Amino acid sequence: MTDRPDSPHSASTRGARGSRAGRPDPADLRQLADSPVSLRRIARLFAPHRATLGVVVALIVLSSAVGLAQPFLVRHVIDDALPRQDVRLLLLLVAAMIGVAVATAVIGVVQTWLSTAVGQRVMHRLRSDLFAHLQQQSLGFFTRTRGGEVQSRLVNDIGSMQGVVTQTATSIAANLTVVVGTAVAMVALSWRLALLSLVVLPPAVLLTRQVARMRHAVTGERQRRLADLHVQIEEGLSVSGVLLTKTLGASPRLTTRFEETSADLVGLEIRSRLAGRWRMATMNIVFAAVPAAIYLAAGFPATSGGMTIGTLVAFVALQGNLFRPLMGLLNVGVDITASLALFSRIFEYADLPVEIAESPDPVRLPRRAAAGEVRFEGVGFAYDADRPVLDGIDLHVPAGSTLALVGETGSGKSTLASLVPRLHDATSGRVTIDGVDVRDLAGTDLADLVGVVTQDTYLLHASVRDNLRHARPGSTDAEIEQACRDARIHDLVSSLPDGYDTVVGSRGHRFSGGEQQRLAIARTLLRDPAVLILDEATSALDNATERSILATLDEVTRSRTTIIIAHRLSTVRDADQIAVLHRGRVVELGTHEELLLRGGRYADLVRGGLGSEPAAA
């Protein structure tokens, strides 16, 4: 599957643009060519609601049939009730006209309620299933795919799918019923004028569609430039974007680019409005010309057939209701293509294979029963088959001990550690906890057993308390505060105006990098995992805070297995064993003193600057 760089706005507007143009959007056609959709699969989504959908179709037909009675009632008012001054008949006809209006309105409300309910239930099921499915995808999928693309399919595409039920399907049924019923009624009133309408309508429809296509070209370009404007706003005015702009001095350049895009939109907006006005003017001409032709034909004896005034008025009313549904039917192909393209995009993600799937018969290893012994047995890993990242790793980390992984950038340290919580799966060999292959463990047990703190801290846009409780929903306030004390962040949080109820802000920007890492450490300590992985977890801390936290970690790691990845000597020197990785292999293993005495690669790393990097504030 290839992820296309669609704008988040494009999916939700594509069907409407295609319909206005009278021809399928090329992007929809490409999508269906790449990922064909089975109509049977779509039907299965709606199968549980077939009874409700049947009622919806029946209501549409009923509403259209009832609505057709209105012109006939008008004919009787003009031809019978008014000339005869028959008040009783007039009252009955007027009451019937009001009854028809009320009936169609009520039927319309009920039909909308039922169709929307079906669409929302199907959309809810799709959205929930797709979210759960994407949660099971590996990190590799999310590194290959733009975040905006995932959000677009999960929100925009599934949201637009609602239109398949409430607009596309119902409009096809309604338009078909109206066109057929109106045509029959027109023939019943006057076959001569009906024949004339059939001659006049096709050129009028073609003219309107041609103007719509002209507008589509302008509107498409306007949408693309508007999407560019949204991207520039997002990139230039987000917290990270503003920080990057200010540090690079790029503000004048971004402002100039924004002005150019905005200026382009001025011209496109004017052209779009003019094109829209031309389209409206064309339709108005059609709406005026066709009745005029009918009135003209009714004035000649050869074509009038002795038609009464009431019949003429009723016929014109019917004919006026024919144009829009006829246009809708002509666009059925476009609507169906746009709808199928939406389903194609949704199914494309729903059909993604789960690279890291839970075992169908998982082994249970509750946290309270786990010692935390970790083994890497002949472990190999490769993102691509021809580029191995790890090769033949054999390591034993006894329960309660600490293993430090060191090596130059790209040596495979983080990848090796990521195999323990199954962020990736080994392509050869196995990783075990207490003798059980992590691939055989139940996912919930593995998450309870292994805690990870990385260099890149992610905090939710929520309060400090909610961020910490996210790791362990049932934790008490006292447990949360104790975890913060262990991570040396309690005093800072308590000093804030709202304390633990302080909102951390977007991606935690309210706090410094070091403070964010301390919150992340507290969040992980709150879970009390049997195996703790610290991947550059103290890289953003100053030396004093790092020493304080290392002292705390030294206490809490005595009862758990710890794997540390770091570039600071102070972080790794007290580890029970240090593994030196080079090009995906363990080239040295021992304690700090043992490795220094060997004078090998570890000694070179220490002499070359291991631990000499300045600490971030």
- For 363-397, what is each residue's pLDDT tens digit? 998 888 888 999 999 999 998 777 889 999 999 99
- Averaged pLDDT, 37-61: 88
CA distance 576 to 397: 9
User: Which of helix, strand or coil describes residue 129?
Assistant: helix
Q: What is the per-residue pLDDT for 343? A: 84
* Phi then psi dihedrals of residue 615, to 5 deg: -80, 145
Distance from C-alpha of 47 to C-alpha of 497, rounded to nearest angstrom = 54
CB 279 within 8 Å of CB 209? no
- Residues 344-369 as b or e (16 or more Cβ within 10 Å = b): bbbbbbeebeeebebeeebeebeeee
pLDDT at 91: 93
- For position 314, what pLDDT does the model report? 82
Residue 570: band (very low, low, confident or very high) from pLDDT cuts 50, 70, 90: confident
**72 or 214, which is more confident:** 72
Of 225, 215, 219, the C-alpha closest to 263 is: 225
Residue 1, pLDDT above cutoff 60: no
Say what the pTM is.
Answer: 0.66
Average pLDDT, the chain: 80
With tokens 């991947």, the residue in question is 535
Calculate what percentage of the chain has a pLDDT beyond 70: 82
pLDDT of 312 > 80? The answer is yes
Q: What is the tens place of the pLDDT at every residue in 11-20? A: 444 444 344 4
Alpha carbon distance 236, 229 (integer Å): 10
* Amino acid residing at 144: R
User: Average pLDDT for residues 33-54, to the nearest whole number?
Assistant: 86
Q: What are phi and psi of 420, to 5 degrees?
A: -70, -50
| pLDDT tens-digit series, residues 280-290 | 676 677 767 77
Calculate helix-pair angle for 69-76, 170-189, nearest 10 degrees. 30
Predicted local distance difference test score (pLDDT) of residue 211: 63
617 falls in which pLDDT band (50, 70, 90)?
Answer: very low
Tokens of 566: 């770091």
| Residues facing residue 433 across a β-bridge | 374, 436
Q: φ, ψ for residue 411 (rounded to 5)?
A: -80, -10
pLDDT at 163: 67
Phi-psi region of 422 (alpha: psi -120 to 50; beta: other; left: phi over 0): left
Considering only residues 22 and 76, tell me which one the structure prediction assigns the higher pLDDT: 76
